[in-house]
């Protein structure tokens, strides 16, 4: 009888250990970076404020149905849905990567389309790029990779 109790206790301990490991993995997954799309509202050397939007493409057919969108609504290949402007501030770090398209050739003089894609961790280069827009307000959304309150990367897409 005592031997059986030891076996049950052993099995119970193993199950608890597996459960704890499973919870730890789930916690690690929930801390991974989150991707979102939004308009840049303001930026400085330490933070960025964005208005998150929904970027809908033809791949999002279910969402298109929910919003009564047709292919004609996606003339540029996407539709930006923003029910209300709601801004949120995130932190920029020395590791934040800024990926943008040098439309005005301010960072390269190459006509090669591949060389106008700039990738840098220099916040001042990115701010200089943003300042090329009227009122420093690009009228297209950026794609953000967020980890907690920190921005991992900011990407401008064609």
DSSP codes joined into one string, 20-87: HHHHHHHHHHHTS-EEEEEEEEEE-SSEEEEEEEEEE-TT-HHHHHHTT--GGGGTTS-EEE-SS--E
Q: Which pLDDT does position 158 carry in this prediction?
A: 82
Among 95, 108, 92, smallest CA distance to 142 is for: 92
Q: Identify the CA nearest to 156 among candidates 128, 132, 126.
A: 126
What per-residue confidence (pLDDT) applies to 2? 54
pLDDT on residue 26: 35
**Segments of the chain scoring below 50 in pLDDT:** 6-30
Look at residue 114 in the predicted model and tell me its pLDDT. Answer: 81
> In this predicted structure, what is the pLDDT of residue 56?
96
Note whether 52 and 84 are within 8 A (CB): no
Question: Given this model, what pLDDT does residue 65 score?
Answer: 97
| Cβ–Cβ under 8 Å, residues 87 and 47 | no
**Structure tokens that stand for 105 in this block:** 């050739």
Evaluate whether 149 touches 91 at the Cβ level (below 8 Å): yes
pLDDT of residue 27: 37
pLDDT at 9: 45
pLDDT tens-digit series, residues 19-29:
333 333 333 33
Q: Is 96 exposed, middle or buried (0-12, 13-18, 19+ CB in 10 A)?
A: buried
**SS3 assignment, position 13:** helix
pLDDT at residue 111, rounded to an integer: 83
């Amino acid at each position: 009888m005592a031997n059986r109790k030891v076996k049950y206790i052993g099995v119970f301990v193993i199950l608890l250990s597996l459960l704890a490991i499973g919870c730890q993995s789930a916690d690690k997954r929930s801390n991974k970076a989150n991707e979102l799309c939004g308009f840049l509202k303001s930026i400085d050397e330490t933070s960025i404020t964005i208005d998150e939007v929904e970027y809908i493409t033809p791949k999002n057919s279910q969402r298109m149905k929910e919003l009564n969108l047709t292919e004609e609504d996606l003339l540029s290949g996407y539709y930006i849905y923003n029910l209300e402007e709601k801004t949120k501030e995130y932190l920029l770090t020395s590791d934040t990567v800024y990926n943008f398209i040098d439309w005005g050739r301010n960072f390269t003089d190459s006509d090669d389309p591949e060389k106008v894609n700039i990738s840098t961790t220099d916040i001042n280069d990115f701010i200089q790029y943003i300042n090329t827009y009227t009122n420093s307000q690009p009228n297209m959304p950026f794609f953000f990779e967020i980890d907690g309150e920190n921005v991992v990367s900011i990407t401008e897409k064609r």
